[in-house]
Amino acid sequence: RALGASPAPLDLRRDDLAYARRFDQVKGGLAVALGLLLLGTGFLLWRAKKEKEVAQVEFDTMVARVRDTADSVEKTFRTDLKLSEEEFAKKYRISGDRLRTVPDYARRVGQMHDYLRNEMGLSTEVPPIRSSLEVLRQVHAALTSVREQLAYCLANTGNFTQRGLDLSLVLSAPEHVDIVKNALEGIREKEGDRKVFAEVVPGTVKQDRNGKYPVTFECLYPRDGGK
């Protein structure tokens, strides 16, 4: 009335003022999305817990294995040096923290290694492993060099170890054993004049039902580097 117009009544039946129930239209989707979010979060928490438990078990197993191995080595070390457990623990101290088990024992092993090398004058270096492929190549070359002297020669198996080679051959005559033996004994290192095999020992020579002579040659590496 102050503006010169009478107030009009408010009609709630108008479409623009009517309750549209819009939240009811989306609350189902929101509930599903929230449920999936909670489910995913719960799954991630469960997986993280399981991974932590597995990691803890693996860590405990590793620590136990390291300590078991270290106890055996340290016992031998203490016995050889005539050290008591108290003297050893004082001289080669570790923190005792489980999380530092590996670095602690690695440092202790390094100290023991240095003592054996510097104080006792003992070599703790691991000798290089001989290449089986190189030896096999040299054996093949040796057999090829005497192939014309052998009427028949079949290589069955070759078993390599750190001690040497067990070579199983099938020959056509027993006198061919000496030819093969001399060929194997004549193999030399690539550098220098050292023999690859310090000794070649033929096994029992006996004719089989096919008229051939299977024989196993035990080829031993030199213990002192060869001559």
What would the pLDDT profile of 186-196 be if each residue is shown by its tens digit? 998 876 678 88
Q: Look at the block and give the residue holding tokens 């040096």.
A: 81
Greater confidence, 14 or 21? Answer: 21
- CB distance 127 to 143 below 8 Å: no
Q: What structural domains does the chain harbor?
A: 42-119 (no CATH), 132-220 (3.30.1360.100)
Question: In 10 A of CB 193, how many CB atoms?
Answer: 8
Q: Positive or negative CA dihedral for 224, 163, 199, 132?
A: negative
Contact by Cβ (8 Å): 7, 1: yes
What are the two backbone dihedrals, phi and then psi, of residue 38, each rounded to the nearest 5 degrees? -65, -40
Considering only CA atoms, which of 113, 91, 90, 109 is closest in space to residue 101? Answer: 109
Residue 75 has pLDDT above 80, yes or no: yes
Report which of 165, 168, 159, 151 is spatially closest to residue 198, judged by C-alpha positions.
165
The answer to which of 9-18, 20-29, 123-132, 174-183 has the lowest mean pLDDT is 9-18
Alpha-helical regions (H) of the chain: 22-81, 85-91, 101-114, 132-145, 176-185
Q: Helix or strand or coil: residue 76?
A: helix
* 197: exposed, middle or buried (Cβ count in 10 Å: 0-12, 13-18, 19+): buried
Counting residues of the chain whose pLDDT is more than 90, the rounded percentage is: 23
Confidence check: pLDDT of 89 > 80: yes
Of 185, 179, 188, the C-alpha closest to 153 is 179
Cβ atoms 117, 124 nearer than 8 A: yes
Q: What is the pTM of this model?
A: 0.44
Q: CB burial class (10 A; 0-12, 13-18, 19+) of residue 129?
A: exposed
CB atoms within 10 A of CB 92: 20
